[in-house]
């Protein structure tokens, strides 16, 4: 297997930076409308091969681009994302556009409102190209749980793009969008970004409003950006972050200028390397690339020290109890009454519920609803759900202690590079272990960035995860910029 080389791909293409596109629009060299058209042309050419977009919002995109062009021609001020073509993960609602969450149960659903993160993007001038494929209700690590077929990894189409935000990561890797929004509950932004060789951001819990995110596990769900470089991801986060009265868990902590912070360099930062993320199960080629990345941080003037996070091994079991319990409650809303699919063959209300849910949900979603319902049911609540909440506190406090001594923690984002389609679909537990390095930050609520950090001999991307304490996204971006700069 190590001697195998990735199928050479002409599908990978680096998007232009926000600054390049903005400059072109400002001086009148290029029109936002032409940029949007060129993206739709490329989608037309290669989307069928990759299965990234589930639907397009062309009318809305071209109207928005025309607005940007009019403002530019009049010399009016342009928003920070003016004319930037973006894609939206299909678990985020966009008014009047199909929003399926990758599920059959929401086929045809056209929400009557925009998610807060989506409307903030548009207010900043971004052009919404369409909706991106993902695992059903964001449950999966390979995008193979989508009811609309898997996304293929543009680097090697025999391989998965990661999940659950597989479409969001692959879209940036294949330049079918300049940037995208995804969601991360246990690693669903960071792991696919790592598999596809792009930048992905897990903002602190509460940093970005969840209003309009079709809920999976509410105490864990977060919305964050994907981009082709760290600075653009930072710019995008500043646009979508901030308090929103529609999400009671959104934070009123002031939003930073994350792009400017990322410009500060990493010199003098204290970096912790937790031994628990380099143990059994870590692919040796991934380890080698991450160690090179850590060396580049030393060269950038960071001080690097080993640390220990002993509760790491409890994170996957804790995560799958907390996440499935919350999912079983959240997904109770899909009952065939108010929206989505209703089974035609039901004489009674109870039958209508169970038939609609049985026909509408896929296997992994049912598995998680069942596990969560079991863990919350009478007689098992203390042993499973309550126990997991207690271990969650231990994990969170362990990070708080670690961040008393270091500014950032670096780890591999995933234990392996992108695996092959079908490789793990028969074994749910093996699939869950693909999230082994990402669920810890999810449970603790801290922030992080994954940044490309070399590739295997076969050419498969490796990602480094940079974690920082609550609300310290700026620090994570500074470290990620240093790793990125060393990639050359």
Partner 1 sequence: MAGNVKAEDVERVAELAHLKLSPDEAGSMLHDLNAILDYVAQLDELDTSSVVPLAQVSELVGGSGTKPLREDQRKPSLERSAVMAQAPETDQAFFKVPKVIER
Q: Residues 355 to 374: which contact partner 1 by CB under 8 A?
A: 355, 357-358, 361, 363, 366-367, 369-371, 373-374
- Work out how close the CB of 162 gets to partner 1 at its nearest, in angstroms, rounded to a whole number: 21
Taking residues 382 to 421 in sequence order and writing x for each that binds partner 1 by CB under 8 A, - otherwise, the string is -xx-xxxxxxxxx-xx--x---------------------
Find out whether 223 and 258 touch, Cβ atoms under 8 Å. Answer: no
Integer angstrom CA distances of residue 220 from 145, 203, 272, 327, 406: 20, 11, 24, 11, 24
Beta carbon of residue 248, minimum distance to partner 1 (angstroms, whole number): 7
Task: Find the shortest distance in angstroms from Cβ 219 to partner 1.
Answer: 5
Q: Any bridge partners for residue 259, and if so which?
A: none
Q: How far is it, in rounded angstroms, from Cα 97 to Cα 21?
A: 26
Binding mask 318-357 for partner 1 (x = CB under 8 A): x-xx------x---x--xxxxxxxx---xxxxxxxxxx-x
d(CA 48, CA 65): 25
By CB under 8 A, is residue 428 in contact with partner 1? yes
**Strand order through the sheet with 199-202:** 53-56, 127-132, 85-89, 179-184, 222-227, 199-202, 447-455, 461-468, 408-412, 270-274, 303-307
Bridge-based pairing state of the strands 408-412 and 270-274: parallel
Neighbour tally for 261: CB within 10 Å? 18
Query: Please, which residue, 31 or 424, has the CB nearer to partner 1?
Result: 424
**At closest approach, how far in Å is the CB of 461 from partner 1?**
29
Of residues 29, 74, 77, 252, which one binds partner 1 by CB under 8 A? 252
Of 27 and 245, which has the nearer Cβ to partner 1? 245
> Count of residues binding partner 1 (CB under 8 A)?
79
* Distances 35 to 12, 40, 118 between C-alpha atoms, Å: 18, 9, 20
Q: Which of residues 102-161 bind partner 1 (CB under 8 A)?
A: 109-113
> Catalytic positions, please?
89, 164, 188
Shortest Å distance, C-beta 326 to partner 1 = 10
Which of 55, 157, 303, 314 touches partner 1 (CB under 8 A)? 314
Strand 303-307 and strand 222-227: pairing? unpaired
Spatial contact of 91 and 97, defined as CB atoms under 8 Å apart: no
Angle at 165 between CA 17 and CA 139, to 5 degrees: 170
Asked if 287 interacts with partner 1 (CB under 8 A), we say no
Residue among 87, 206, 272, 274 that touches partner 1 (CB under 8 A): 206
Q: Both tokens of residue 310?
A: 């002993």
Residue 191 or 250: the one with the smaller Cβ distance to partner 1 is 250
Q: For residues 303 and 374, which CB has a smaller minimum distance to partner 1 in the complex? A: 374
Q: Which of residues 22-81 bind partner 1 (CB under 8 A)?
A: none
Residue of 141, 251, 416, 465 interacting with partner 1 (CB under 8 A): 251
Angle of helix 18-26 relative to helix 58-74, nearest 10 degrees, comes to: 60
Judged by beta carbon, residue 205 or residue 216, the one nearer partner 1 is 205
- Which of 168/183 has CB closer to partner 1? 183
What is the token pair recorded at 230?
């760290």
Query: Which tokens hold the place of 367?
Result: 């598995």
Smallest separation (angstroms) from partner 1 to the CB of 428: 6
**Per CB under 8 A, does 425 bind partner 1?**
no
Shortest distance, CB of residue 167 to partner 1, whole angstroms?
A: 23
- The residue count for the chain: 488
CB neighbours of 387 closer than 8 A, spacing ≥ 6? Answer: 321
């Amino acid at each position: 297997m190590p001697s195998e080389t990735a199928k050479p791909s002409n599908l990978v293409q680096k998007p232009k930076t926000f600054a390049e596109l903005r400059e072109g629009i400002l001086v009148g060299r290029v029109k936002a409308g032409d940029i949007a058209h060129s993206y739709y042309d490329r989608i037309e050419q290669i989307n069928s091969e990759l299965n990234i977009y589930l639907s397009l919002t062309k009318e809305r995109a071209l109207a928005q681009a025309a607005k940007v062009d009019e403002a530019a021609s009049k010399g009016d001020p342009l928003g920070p994302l003016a004319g930037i073509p973006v894609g939206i993960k299909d678990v985020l609602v966009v008014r009047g556009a199909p929003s399926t969450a990758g599920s059959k149960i929401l086929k045809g659903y056209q929400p009557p409102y925009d998610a807060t993160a989506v409307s903030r993007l548009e207010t900043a001038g971004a052009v919404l190209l369409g909706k991106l494929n993902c695992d059903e209700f964001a449950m999966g690590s390979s995008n193979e749980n989508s009811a609309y077929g898997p996304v293929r990894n543009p680097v090697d189409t025999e391989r998965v793009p990661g999940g659950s935000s597989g479409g969001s990561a692959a879209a940036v890797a294949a330049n079918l969008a300049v940037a995208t929004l995804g969601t991360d509950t246990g690693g669903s932004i960071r792991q696919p970004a790592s598999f596809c060789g792009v930048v992905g951001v897990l903002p602190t819990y509460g940093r970005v409003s969840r209003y309009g995110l079709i809920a999976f596990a509410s105490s864990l769900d977060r919305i964050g950006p994907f981009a082709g470089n760290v600075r653009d991801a930072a710019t995008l986060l500043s646009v979508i972050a901030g308090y929103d009265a529609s999400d009671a868990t959104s934070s009123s902590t002031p939003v930073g200028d994350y792009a400017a912070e990322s410009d500060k360099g990493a010199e003098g930062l204290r970096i912790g390397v937790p031994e628990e993320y380099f143990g059994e199960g870590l692919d040796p080629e991934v380890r080698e690339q991450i160690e090179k990345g850590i060396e580049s941080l030393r060269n950038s003037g960071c001080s690097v020290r080993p640390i220990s996070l002993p509760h790491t091994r409890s994170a996957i079991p804790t995560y799958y109890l907390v996440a499935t319990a919350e999912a079983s409650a959240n997904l109770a809303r899909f009952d065939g009454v108010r929206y989505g699919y209703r089974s035609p063959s039901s004489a009674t209300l109870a039958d209508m519920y169970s038939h609609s849910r049985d026909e509408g949900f896929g296997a992994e979603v049912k598995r998680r609803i069942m596990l969560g319902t079991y863990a919350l049911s009478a007689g098992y609540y203390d042993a499973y759900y309550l126990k997991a909440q207690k271990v969650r506190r231990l994990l969170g406090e362990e990070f708080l202690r670690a961040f008393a001594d270091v500014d950032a923690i670096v780890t591999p984002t995933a234990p392996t590079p992108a695996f092959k389609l079908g490789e793990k679909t028969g074994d749910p537990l093996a699939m869950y272990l693909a999230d082994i390095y990402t669920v810890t930050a999810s449970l603790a609520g801290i922030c992080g960035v994954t940044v490309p950090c070399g590739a295997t001999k076969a050419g498969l991307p490796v990602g480094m995860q940079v974690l920082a304490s609550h609300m310290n996204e700026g620090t994570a971006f500074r470290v990620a910029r240093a790793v990125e700069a060393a990639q050359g």
